[in-house]
Amino acid sequence: AVLSKTKEVDIEGGWELGHPIPYAALAKVFGLIEGTTKRLEKTSLLTSFLLLVIQRSASGDTDSLLQSVYLCINRLCPDYVGIELGIGESLLLKAIAESTGRSMTVIKQDLKKEGDLGLVARNSKNAQKTLFKPKPLTVPFMFKNLKEIASSTGHSSQNKKVSIITKLLAACQGEEAKYIIRSLEGKLRIGNAERTVLVALAHAAILAEQEKATKRLNQEKLTGRLEHAAEVVKSVYSELPSYDLVIPALLEVGIDGLKERCKLTPGVPLKPMLAKPTKAIGEVLDRFEGKKFTCEYKYDGERAQVHKLDDGTVAVFSRNSEDMSKKYPDLMDQLPRCMKSTAKSFVLDAEAVAVDRKTGQLKPFQELSKRKRKDVKVEDIEIWVCLFGFDLLYLNGESLLHHPFAERRELLGTHFQEVEGEFTFAKSKDCETTEEIQAFLEESVKDGCEGLMVKMLETEASHYEPSRRSVNWLKLKKDYLAGVGDSLDLVVVGGYYGKGKRTNVYGAFLLACYDADGEQYQTICKIGTGFSDEALQQHHELLKPLELTKPRGDIKVGGAKPDVWFEPKVVWEVLTADLSLSPVYTAAQGLADERGISLRFPRFIRVRDDKGADDATGPEQIAEMYERQVLAQSKGGKKKKGG
């Protein structure tokens, strides 16, 4: 099916062997992908395109495939390098006006109507008469210019950005303007999840290999091989999340050699393993009964992945793969003291927690978040951190991901040492009974932690699963036991003007969850109580620059009517009393019910600046929470009846 698609779809756009890929070909594929909601069709379209890229590239050219893949996921380099797109609306409006000669008033009216800057750019281009056809844009040219825009900083950078964007817009034709602008905004909105790209990449590699092979596989064998390839690429990428490394390797050694070639490598942060929430201790035992597991304190700080490279370089990465060395110079100073000389290279998983150096007491995350994020000088630091190590993922040239946790924990203990107030092993206890877990949970809360993390210790189930919210890690927070339920991380997408003395700030906010598969923000609730005047002022300062004329095209609005819309960027952690079905909001529509799900009495906990909008809670999780609640209520109801 995939092979025949290649021939059906004409995406070539005058593209010759060994020549740079025309950007028009990519824009065409984007259009086709955007035009379907079917995941398989999206994958197949992208596969066709990537296959063409592989086949049309000159031998030894790995950049064409690399740049195509980056443009498909709208990134320019691995996450940890930190060059990101996300140009603000006003700058883009200015560039559209400058390059098309349309007046700002007309452009703004158009934006009100369309709600999508990409469409506005395309309309503006189409309204413009051109005398001669511009030279076609190519993928390498676009990539180079986007990178230049994203990396330019400093005083004159605004003008420089506008001038490059104007130049790109002047050269584009057809649908190109739409995607260029959306790329610059930081969201392509074609419903192309990264998972789809990984699968398409794997399939394209296999199909390219097949077309060259003297003996072709039959359909059944081919299907098996495609499925296997997709698994290989996904697993390799989760260990080594860098297309810069994976794509050239894929082109060189093919799918079969990829696992051997691309392994977890210090210096390339992996997406951390995450835990599933549990509401009751009984649930932990239901899940782990008969298996060996351990309970660890769940520290209330910031995830920190520490890497030591063979050359001695040490780096700390956040849960978002951001390099945190500049934020934590104190930690960088402390780290060498906790490593034994036997730990020559490693990847350590840990939590950085604010501590009172005099009393040794742990402080909550709120304290830690008061620290500056950039250019911190050790002499100015008032809030100190202690690192709590809980896992070892790599040691001296070997990936430990596929070793049982018990073994990883032992190696951690052997190659690291505690230093008071600077580095400690996460406190743990290999509990067996409900009473033991209960007692340890209470102890953890008394010591200033959020609760416990319960982890499988042995067998394959205890392997480290990068980027997965795994059932082999359960989190047990004190809040859950009070019946409060897990918190949600939601994106602020709208604001309501305040009343009375709060007219200069927003008095309430519209929140949304994020559906990664559909690349869509879904509205979930309005939140407006419990903010101090000072907090409202701070939120206003942060959100004001993100104001938009209309809801961005990837916000599934439903019946919500805020006074202003925001660029989806800021993430808040929110608690709720419970969830209810809603005719107004769109979160998780069609999952637990045709209606959306909303939060009742949402309460703001904190700003999650360690999370991007894409890391917000997803609709499946919300549907799952709702279903659990329904189940719990029906159980509770039965009990009452019986008693």
List interacting residues with ligand ATP (CB under 6 A).
272, 274-275, 296-299, 303, 319, 351, 390, 426, 453, 475, 487
| H or E segment to which residue 550 belongs | none
The CA-based dihedral angle spanning residues 608, 510, 506, 301, taken in that order and rounded to the nearest 10 degrees = -10
Residue with tokens 């930081």: 186
* Distance between CA atoms of residues 231 and 192, nearest Å: 18
Please report how close the Cβ of residue 159 comes to ligand ATP at its closest, in angstroms: 39
State which residue, 106 or 605, has the beta carbon closest to ligand ATP: 605
Please report how close the Cβ of residue 441 comes to ligand ATP at its closest, in angstroms: 13
Please report how close the Cβ of residue 625 comes to ligand ATP at its closest, in angstroms: 13
State which residue, 88 or 277, has the beta carbon closest to ligand ATP: 277
Neighbours of 40 (CB within 10 A): 12
- Residue 574 has φ and ψ, to the nearest 5°, of -135, 140
Residue of 161, 276, 298, 308 marked active site: 298
Please report how close the Cβ of residue 455 comes to ligand ATP at its closest, in angstroms: 7
State which residue, 226 or 607, has the beta carbon closest to ligand ATP: 607
Q: Angle, to 10 degrees, between the axis of helix 23-34 and the axis of helix 63-72? A: 40
Question: Could you tell me the two tokens for 145?
Answer: 């210019």
Q: Angle, to 10 degrees, between the axis of helix 139-151 and the axis of helix 176-185? A: 30
Q: Is 32 helix (H, G, I), strand (E, B) or coil?
A: helix
* Chain centre to alpha carbon of residue 195: 12
Please report how close the Cβ of residue 322 comes to ligand ATP at its closest, in angstroms: 14
Question: Could you tell me the two tokens for 327?
Answer: 């934020």
Reported as half-sphere exposure (CB side, CA atoms, 13 A), residue 490 has a value of: 30
* Distance between CA atoms of residues 383 and 370, nearest Å: 8
List of E strands, 372-458: 384-395, 398-399, 423-425, 428-429, 451-456
Question: Could you tell me the two tokens for 519?
Answer: 């690349």
* Distance between CA atoms of residues 553 and 187, nearest Å: 10
* Distance between CA atoms of residues 101 and 118, nearest Å: 17
* Distance between CA atoms of residues 256 and 247, nearest Å: 14
User: Looking at the chain, how many residues does it have?
Assistant: 643
Q: Which residues pair with 433 in a beta bridge?
A: none
State which residue, 34 or 391, has the beta carbon closest to ligand ATP: 391
Dihedral sign computed on CA atoms, order 377, 381, 386, 391: negative
State which residue, 495 or 618, has the beta carbon closest to ligand ATP: 618
- What is the separation, in whole angstroms, between the first and last Cα of the chain? 59
298 is catalytic: yes
Question: Could you tell me the two tokens for 613?
Answer: 């909008």
Give the contacts of 433 (CB within 8 A, at least 6 positions apart): none
Please report how close the Cβ of residue 617 comes to ligand ATP at its closest, in angstroms: 8
Query: Which residue blocks in 563-609 are alpha helix, DSSP H?
Result: none
State which residue, 275 or 348, has the beta carbon closest to ligand ATP: 275
State which residue, 116 or 422, has the beta carbon closest to ligand ATP: 422
State which residue, 110 or 296, has the beta carbon closest to ligand ATP: 296
Please report how close the Cβ of residue 319 comes to ligand ATP at its closest, in angstroms: 6
State which residue, 125 or 327, has the beta carbon closest to ligand ATP: 327
- Contact criterion met (CB below 8 Å) for 335 and 380: no
Positions annotated as catalytic residues are: 298
